[in-house]
Amino acid sequence: MMYDYMKALHARFCREPELQKAREELNQAYREIKARLGQQDQETLLQLADLENELRAETSLTSFVAGFQLGMGIAGELEPYCFEDEEEKQVIERAKAGHPHIKN
């Protein structure tokens, strides 16, 4: 269940970089190799490409999950921020600066 949720978050927020030039070069190299291979070797090349894509997708998801867990851990360590508390703290600090004899 959690794995499916993380996959959905990954699909929503993690975008592949464009890298248009690299993709074009990769496609060109793939076409050149495919043109030189027989049918059986082309099938092997296709299986290799599919496995590489699967590995890339799984690695991306694993990295996303690790980053998400790190972010949640950091968020859990932070004190909640409250604007009113911050304003009160600043007023007290200004009062102390103007009247050094005031204790907290």
Which residues neighbour 95 within 8 Å (Cβ) at sequence distance 6 or greater? 102
Kindly state the DSSP code that residue 82 receives in the 8-state scheme. -
- Tokens read off for 40: 């059986």
- Cα 24 to Cα 84: distance, rounded to the nearest angstrom: 54
| CA 73 from centre of chain | 15
Residues 10-53: tens digit of each pLDDT: 888 887 778 889 989 988 998 898 889 888 998 998 899 899 99
∠69-75-76 over CA atoms, to 5°? 90
Residues 46-82: tens digit of each pLDDT: 899 899 999 999 999 999 999 988 888 888 887 776 7
